A and B are shown apart, each in its own frame.
Chain A
Amino acid sequence: MTDAAAGPRPAVPRGYDADEGVTGPYPPTEEMLAEPIPEEVRQAQEDRLREVWKEPPGWRYLSAVNNSEIGKWYSLTAFGFMLLAGILALVMRAQLAVPDNDLISANRYNQFFTMHGSAMMFLFAVPMFEAISILILPAFLGARDMPFPRLSAYGFWCFVIGGVFVMGSLLFDAAPDAGWFMYPPLSTKQGGIGADIWLLGLSFIEVASIAAAVELIVGVLKCRPPGMRVNLMPLYAWYVLVVGGMILFAFPPLIAGDFLFELERGFDWPFFDPERGGDPLLWQHLFWIFGHPEVYIIFLPSIAIAAMVVPTAAGRPIVGYSWIVLSAVGTGFISFGLWVHHMFTTGLPTISLGFFSAASEAVVIPTGIQLFAFVATLMVGRVTLSLPLLWIAGGLAIFTAGGLTGVMVAIAPFDWQVHDTYFVVAHLHYTLFGGMVLPVIGGVTYFYPFFTKKQMSRRLGLWSFWLTVVGFNITFLPMHLTGLWGMPRRVFTYPGGLGWDWLNLLSTAGSVIVAAGILIFAWDLIRPKGREPLTERNPWGGGTLEWSHDVPEEKWGVRSVPYITSRYPLWDQDKIVERMDAGRYYLPDAEEGHRETLVTSVIDARPLQVLRVTGPAWITMAAAAFTGGAFIFPTFHMYPPAIVSGALAILCVIYWLWTSTAQIPEKSTKDIGLGLSVPTYVSGPRAVGWWGMWITMLGDSTAFASLVFGVFFYWTAGTDFPPADAAHVDWRWSLMAGALGLAAWAAILLARTTNRGGRPLPAAAIAGAGAVAGALAIWAFITALRLPGLNPTSHVYPAMMWALGVWTIAHLGAGIIMLLYCAAALIFGKATPTHDAPMWNVSLYWHFMALTVTVTVLVTAFLPRGL
């Protein structure tokens, strides 16, 4: 049986349910794969694919949404921000070269160190991971694109606008100057707009980061090639999954903190003001619940790059694959239990310091396993010390030094001495330079031929490597001693005679050498290489799918999506590249003229759907610009334009969703090659959109949980929460609001089943009624808060009640828009009884809303009465 069409009735393949709509033989047999493809068929397919995937010409190039373009722009922009933040560091080093220097003022220095840290964290390290992943993840997975290309584009434009806004504030001498950690009360009491720029600008970028994380997670879960079960995934994909998950749970507490913070700055709600029951430590907890996982969010992607480079260098599969995966997941989990080690000097009880000391040390174990797995892999293979491996080896040597000082600072009593000193500056730069910058440069060198078909220069690479490594150690090794000799961080100057003079001068000299090394790398990266010969297809002899690519000539990614049976298909699967090129595998064609990629099942990667991904569009840029307005106008207390801008952003997103997502295709199934026929439209848990919503809502609920954590924090940390004579939220109205919210939830569930039952118009009416119930719930919540006269500026208790209320009301508002979207979709035939993806996704949103509403009612109206 070579062609399923020859059979009398297509069979449901083994492992599938009949209702999944997949028919034909699966998995493909060797005979099927050996069948040749006629040359003219192949030519015609290639022409069609080329036409579909070509980039818009001229200035319309900027409307591209393809992962290869967005990924390239994204990573170059992040690298640009890194260079800017590096320049800030050089100016700071110049200021500190000699004691009592007055090169720059205290004010400017404080802006510079704040922006150096903030930019390196929010504009370089995290975006760089997401950019590189967007760029190469589809290639690792044999996918043609990410599942939501327009979401990547939206995230990228948000990042550009937010980054330029935040960095631009330096030019107006108005940049944030309270440190990248923004501790209140310093940052809440300070005048000027610096802190607002930080809060709103970076919140905006955090939203973009979460969007990219959702996309990457769904990409790994749902866009793998057939046969690539989770235990066959390239390690990079595992790391993307872990890091994406960490972003999803780490950024929301910070966003919740930003939310409280901006309410305090903008409206004087006293969350962090001890005079009115607030507590500055709540911010520190929320910040470091984000901040510590952040460190691993930055570090793990580089380990992921190393995990791709090392097996290639050794010419052997990685040793201890399962150990590495377990360690990556373990690191992710443990990293959420360490945040207090940034707060060892805040006066917390000794017992909790001991616990967090031990937890902090525990992270050594998964990190150690990963490092030893690399060494072990090199030991079983024959190592060629390529330039990428050199960068990674140098990075790991520096990182292990940073890790060992990390073991030291995790011992609480020792941290009491070195906390907030140059010892910690040295420690963190050792971990971040060794654990991020060097491996990423190694990764860029490694993947450069993959993007460009050119090699980076080995000579320049060696210069760059040695200058960077030597300069780095001259800069940062002495800082350990500077810190032990008592120099605190974040000082714009220091007096002579404390022994710090020559140490600082040495550090400054070293920083210039590092800059030279990085500049040589930057030059090698961008210098024109027009006359150099093209590299061969797989220059390093790698075993993973990305090296099957023939970019940049062809934008389609993979010519056909292969069937995978090995972790290193290029090494283990005979003739795989040849067959992919011939279009022998799945999706070799674009008959209908749409961009398509394959959606598979989460665990075992069975083909489930042909997903039509979106093409170039301006709407994403407009949506990003208006979202930017909604965040940037409030910085200047311009609230009406902010509201208008926010409304326009919502309209853009609705237009974008309506016109390009979950389109009803002209035929329900499609032959994707090798006789396999899969649906073109799926809804519910089989669809990428449903997974996108699920993952987004996990993050959103984490932010909500952080606010609820705030309530319990104030209750346990203070004695006057709630104050003895406090007015409470009206419980009758609150209960009514809860009931109405649950009614809206019931409405979308009922609408979904009614529609499934073949009655879309009554379903639309039910969804509309749900929207009305939601609106009434908002009104009831507001009444419950207003009736008893809760004044949010008087004390942190009413402020916290209002904050929960505002959060829930805003989410009810979004839920109402979604219900109306569903009603409209049913009325205008965008959703039908058989094509009901929007109904599923909105139901899922409302499941989370039901939880949010219930918790809000319990925590605001009932819990405080019992305290």
Chain B
Amino acid sequence: MCVRRRREWNTKSGAAPHDGGMKIRTVALAGALLALAACEGGPQSALAPAGTDAAQIARIFWVMLIAAAILWIALNGLFAFVTRIHPRPISRRIAETLIIGGGIVLPLILLGTLLTWGLRAMPDQRAPGDGLTVRVGGEQWWWRVEYLPADGGPPVRSANEVRLPAGLRTDIELSAALVIHSFWIPALGGKMDMIPGRVNRMSLAPTEPGTYRGQCAEFCGLSHALMALNAVVLPADEFDAWLSAEAAEADPPDGPGADLFAREGCGGCHAIRGTEWQAQVGPDLTHVGGRTSLAAGILPMTEEALAGWIRNPDAIKPGAEMPGYDHLSPEELTTLARWLMELT
């Protein structure tokens, strides 16, 4: 499977990533049916696994699909056979045997096998991690992210993007502020709800470095559709380097951008570590320019997108808590956006 590092899909009008993403597996037996179904899909697909959990589930799916297809054809074939092709009466005795055989014996065998095999995946999926813990908190409609390094170092706060080391299993702790959300990165594994008043635990073990898209999967209000995030899987050594950089304080340049940030009161909600601004209402901006997407996975991290977002968040994400700054001139917006982009 090809390693995908994609950013181009992330634009609102970006072209579909069909370049090699639609790889057809040819399965000898059931060509036509599987040809359609074997498509791997895009960067948010559960059928293009990039982690052991998603791969295990995808395997369960393919086996179940083949069995289900055979059973469906057999059952409906039988129905067509007795109504259209060979409508000749048979004895009641054979008919009753069919009820018992098809309705009881066959399902008992098949389901028993499926349950024993399928449920054995559960402990693997929820196995304890190798040290690193990532805390993710659901907000309307964005994600708080906090890294608790394996070496017990201080927590590193970030937002709206999760980076994970390849080849290691990372613990994920999930919580939510006001309403229920669900944390889901299909290419890496199954989802888990984020419920106010509870902490839910899961773990992910990515294997393929790349950028994968995730999305909130539990309806969480007006802009539920616009609550996404990227999971960036890095080779383990790259990840360590990135985490130490992320842990560092920001070093924002002085100038008109910083002045605008101060004047407009952005620091009343957002934190930039290493400055006087430490508020925790909105997403942490310490290294915002280094993220792969903006506004919880719905915009590319570009100057124009950032300026547009600051001008009127509600137009992009209905109901967003952040107020609009449309009183700023286009130049001021660009200045502020450019300054934020420098926080890498």
Cα distance A491–B57 when bound, in Å?
24
A28 is an interface residue with CB less than 8 A from chain B: no
B56–chain A nearest beta-carbon distance, Å? 7
Question: Contact between A383 and B83 (Cβ–Cβ < 8 Å)?
Answer: yes
Question: Contact between B222 and A110 (Cβ–Cβ < 8 Å)?
Answer: yes
B38–chain A nearest beta-carbon distance, Å? 10
Task: Specify the chain B residue showing the minimal Cβ separation from A276.
Answer: B197
Question: Contact between A397 and B76 (Cβ–Cβ < 8 Å)?
Answer: yes
Cα distance A375–B319 when bound, in Å?
54
A-B contact pairs, 8 of them (CB 8 A): A183-B219, A364-B107, A368-B106, A396-B79, A416-B190, A416-B192, A490-B219, A492-B225
- A633-653 vs B: 1/0 string, CB under 8 Å? 000000000000000000000
Interfacial chain B residues near A411, Cβ < 8 Å: 60, 64, 114-115, 118-119
B182 is an interface residue with CB less than 8 A from chain A: yes
B120–chain A nearest beta-carbon distance, Å? 9
A412 is an interface residue with CB less than 8 A from chain B: yes
Interfacial chain A residues near B87, Cβ < 8 Å: 382-383
**Looking at the complex, which of B11-19, B161-169, B278-286 is the stretch in contact with chain A?**
B11-19
Report B26-44 residues with CB < 8 Å from chain A CB: 36-37, 39, 41-44
Question: Contact between B42 and A497 (Cβ–Cβ < 8 Å)?
Answer: yes
A320 is an interface residue with CB less than 8 A from chain B: yes
Interfacial chain B residues near A674, Cβ < 8 Å: none
Interfacial chain B residues near A397, Cβ < 8 Å: 76, 79
Question: Contact between B102 and A486 (Cβ–Cβ < 8 Å)?
Answer: no
Interfacial chain A residues near B213, Cβ < 8 Å: 486, 498
B319–chain A nearest beta-carbon distance, Å? 8
Cα distance A195–B92 when bound, in Å?
54
When the two chains form the complex, which single residue of A368, A380, A414 contacts B104, counting CB atoms closer than 8 Å?
A368
A371 is an interface residue with CB less than 8 A from chain B: yes
Interfacial chain B residues near A400, Cβ < 8 Å: 72, 75-76
Cα distance A401–B42 when bound, in Å?
26
Interfacial chain B residues near A491, Cβ < 8 Å: 224-225
Given contacts A371-B103, A375-B79, contact A279 B225 (CB under 8 A): no
Cα distance A487–B214 when bound, in Å?
10
Interfacial chain B residues near A320, Cβ < 8 Å: 95-96, 99
When the two chains form the complex, which single residue of A372, A408, A497 contacts B14, counting CB atoms closer than 8 Å?
A497
When the two chains form the complex, which single residue of A106, A376, A413 contacts B96, counting CB atoms closer than 8 Å?
A376
B223–chain A nearest beta-carbon distance, Å? 6
When the two chains form the complex, which single residue of B125, B179, B216 contacts A186, counting CB atoms closer than 8 Å?
B179
Interface residues of A (CB under 8 A from B): 100, 105-107, 110, 178-179, 183, 185-186, 189-190, 274-275, 278-281, 319-320, 323, 327, 345-347, 350, 353-354, 357-358, 361-362, 364-366, 368-373, 375-383, 385, 389, 393, 396-397, 400-401, 404-405, 407-408, 411-421, 481, 484-501
Question: Contact between B61 and A281 (Cβ–Cβ < 8 Å)?
Answer: no
Interfacial chain B residues near A380, Cβ < 8 Å: 89-92, 95
B78 is an interface residue with CB less than 8 A from chain A: yes
Given contacts A385-B84, A416-B57, A418-B46, contact A186 B41 (CB under 8 A): no
When the two chains form the complex, which single residue of A179, A185, A279, A365 contacts B219, counting CB atoms closer than 8 Å?
A179
B71 is an interface residue with CB less than 8 A from chain A: yes
Question: Contact between A486 and B41 (Cβ–Cβ < 8 Å)?
Answer: yes
Question: Contact between A413 and B42 (Cβ–Cβ < 8 Å)?
Answer: no
Given contacts A371-B75, A495-B12, contact A485 B215 (CB under 8 A): no
A287–chain B nearest beta-carbon distance, Å? 13
Given contacts A364-B107, A368-B104, A484-B47, contact A280 B197 (CB under 8 A): yes
Question: Contact between A365 and B191 (Cβ–Cβ < 8 Å)?
Answer: no
Given contacts A371-B103, A413-B56, contact A350 B126 (CB under 8 A): yes
When the two chains form the complex, which single residue of A347, A371, A493 contacts B225, counting CB atoms closer than 8 Å?
A493
When the two chains form the complex, which single residue of A350, A369, A383, A495 contacts B82, counting CB atoms closer than 8 Å?
A383
B318 is an interface residue with CB less than 8 A from chain A: yes
A40–chain B nearest beta-carbon distance, Å? 48
Question: Contact between B220 and A484 (Cβ–Cβ < 8 Å)?
Answer: no
Interfacial chain A residues near B197, Cβ < 8 Å: 274-275, 278-280
Cα distance A274–B60 when bound, in Å?
36
Question: Contact between B103 and A368 (Cβ–Cβ < 8 Å)?
Answer: yes
B201 is an interface residue with CB less than 8 A from chain A: yes
When the two chains form the complex, which single residue of B13, B76, B98, B201 contacts A379, counting CB atoms closer than 8 Å?
B98
Question: Contact between B225 and A385 (Cβ–Cβ < 8 Å)?
Answer: no
Cα distance A495–B338 when bound, in Å?
25
- B191-229 vs A: 1/0 string, CB under 8 Å? 111011110110000000000010111111111111000
When the two chains form the complex, which single residue of A372, A417, A493 contacts B103, counting CB atoms closer than 8 Å?
A372
Cα distance A487–B201 when bound, in Å?
23
Cα distance A702–B72 when bound, in Å?
39
Interfacial chain A residues near B119, Cβ < 8 Å: 354, 357-358, 411-413
B108 is an interface residue with CB less than 8 A from chain A: yes
Given contacts A411-B118, A497-B15, contact A347 B76 (CB under 8 A): no
Question: Contact between A413 and B125 (Cβ–Cβ < 8 Å)?
Answer: yes
Question: Contact between B79 and A481 (Cβ–Cβ < 8 Å)?
Answer: no
Interfacial chain B residues near A373, Cβ < 8 Å: 99, 103
Question: Contact between B186 and A378 (Cβ–Cβ < 8 Å)?
Answer: no
B75–chain A nearest beta-carbon distance, Å? 6
